[in-house]
Amino acid sequence: MKALRPFIILLKLARESMQFAYQSVKANKLRTFLSLFGITIGIFAIISVFTMIDSLEKNVRDSLQALGKKVVYVQKWPWGGNEEYPWWKYLNRPEPTLSDLEEIRRKSLLTDAACFNVAYNKQLKYNGNNIPDATIYGISTDFDKIRTFDLSEGRFFNQFEINSGRPYAVIGSDIAKDLFQGANPLDKTIKIGGQKVTVIGVFAKEGKSAIGENSLDNMVIIPLNLARTMVDLRNSGPWIMVKAKDDTSVEDLIDELRGILRAHHRLKPLDEDDFALNQIDLLKDSLDSIFASINFAGGFIAFFSIIVGGFGIANIMFVSVKERTSQIGVQKALGAKRYFILIQFLYEAVLLAVAGGVIGLLLIFIGTLAVTHGLDFNVSLTLSNIIRGLLISAVIGIVSGFVPAWVASRLSPVEAINTKA
């Protein structure tokens, strides 16, 4: 029991200090409002910045994730080259062909799935509704093994339907909304550039992609052998997606693909590649450094907003000390220790700061709901940002309230009692 006595005394001290702080906050409503307003604006500013940055990063990473894990893109043009892109070196390269796809499927030992893709724009029509410039994707088999997606209605193609080029289509949610105006699109016949195609499925809504890549919401997916009856595959920017096996690294797959394609294209040992092997993982690695810089810049800018709130609390606390000087003198005359007075005012500062932080976080939460529903961009207030906001509030309360609390704890009892507020 003796061992617990100091702990019990500290608990009583904390409770009494909290009661004094609460009574002071309750008795001075205008001062409390002004203090809360400053810290609320500060927390709103800094956590809003972090929330938007985190949401943007999540949307970017989710967009990349949807394109497939451990996937290599065989294309004519390499990605990158922000400074000086030597486009003249790649201009005369051949486009990927179905022959390249078959060679990869035949010789690659590290490939789990491979899919040939083309994209082009055509007019869509259904009864009196039309979309003048819709994106059409022609795909070979294995698309569903590489690209992540969900269906809200209907089904995806089977292998026979893709290989035979059946006049079927799976459409995006926005396409379904604009073309059918709320009607059930399944088994309905639409026209793609004048050619009749039956809708067998609708993709679940994905939302806007944060990397500029069109989401499936605005696409129509059809079998490749159907697409080749509408356009010349060579002039439609074709590419091949190749997914590595689970126990295979992307680097090993790239090395194998380079050897297969160089041999298939009959390139000499000293010849440069006439194809590009692009990978999403390179973009993912660069995101870490990019968003680290954005976080630092955003935090630095928002820091000044929180400083304003901190100065507001410090100013209000100095006023509070001056108003309660005689009360402090009475407390010290009755035996109150310096640390009791110090903790009492620190509690008040922290209480104000945390309350303002909670209000700021509540405003941010309301704002995220408005942005998500209004702009079709997923913004969410994460648990880490909530904790960050509360911790920042508490730290600002301690830092801002320490000097006024220290001044109050050092007051002489006799002089304090005789001081008029």
Please check the confidence at residue 419 and state whether its pLDDT lies above 80. no
pLDDT tens across 126-185, in order? Answer: 988 899 989 999 999 999 998 888 999 999 999 999 999 999 999 999 999 999 988 899
CA angle 84, 260, 88 (to 5 degrees): 20
pLDDT at position 281: 63
The most distant pair of C-alpha atoms in the chain lies apart, rounded to whole Å, by 100
Place of tokens 């700061």: 353
What is the 3-class SS of the chain, one letter each residue?
A: CCCCHHHHHHHHHHHHHHHHHHHHHHHCHHHHHHHHHHHHHHHHHHHHHHHHHHHHHHHHHHHHHHCCCCEEEEECCCCCCCCCCCHHHHCCCCCCCHHHHHHHHHHCCCEEEEEEEEEEEEEEEECCEEEEEEEEEEECCCHHHHCCCCEEEECCCCHHHHHHCCCEEEECHHHHHHHHCCCCCCCCEEEECCEEEEEEEEECCCCCCCCCCCCHHHEEEEEHHHHCCCCCHHHCCCEEEEEECCCCCHHHHHHHHHHHHHHHCCCCCCCCCCCEEEEHHHHHHHHHHHHHHHHHHHHHHHHHHHHHHHHHHHHHHHHHHHHCHHHHHHHHHCCCCHHHHHHHHHHHHHHHHHHHHHHHHHHHHHHHHHHHHHHCCCCCCCHHHHHHHHHHHHHHHHHHHHHHHHHHHCCCHHHHHCCCC
Give the whole-angstrom CA distance, residue 308 versus residue 313. 9
More confident residue, 188 or 309: 188
Greater confidence (154 vs 236) lies with 154
Highest mean pLDDT (candidates 53-57, 272-276, 374-378): 272-276
Mean per-residue pLDDT for 87-91?
83
pLDDT band at 284 (very low <50, low <70, confident <90, very high): low
pLDDT at 123 over 70: yes
Could you give the CA distance from residue 149 to residue 154 in angstroms, rounded to a whole number?
13
Q: Tens of pLDDT along 204-233?
A: 987 665 554 567 888 999 999 999 999 988
For 265-328, the DSSP string reads: TT--TTSPPSSEEEEHHHHHHHHHHHHHHHHHHHHHHHHHHHHHHHHHHHHHHHHHHHHTHHHH
Q: Report the half-sphere exposure of 62 (CA within 13 A, side-chain side).
A: 16
**Mean pLDDT, range 385-392, rounded to an integer:** 85
Tokens of 404: 């006024």
Residue 338 has pLDDT above 80, yes or no: no
CA distance 72 to 112: 11
Extract the tokens encoding 33: 């409002």
Partners of 392 in the β-ladder: none
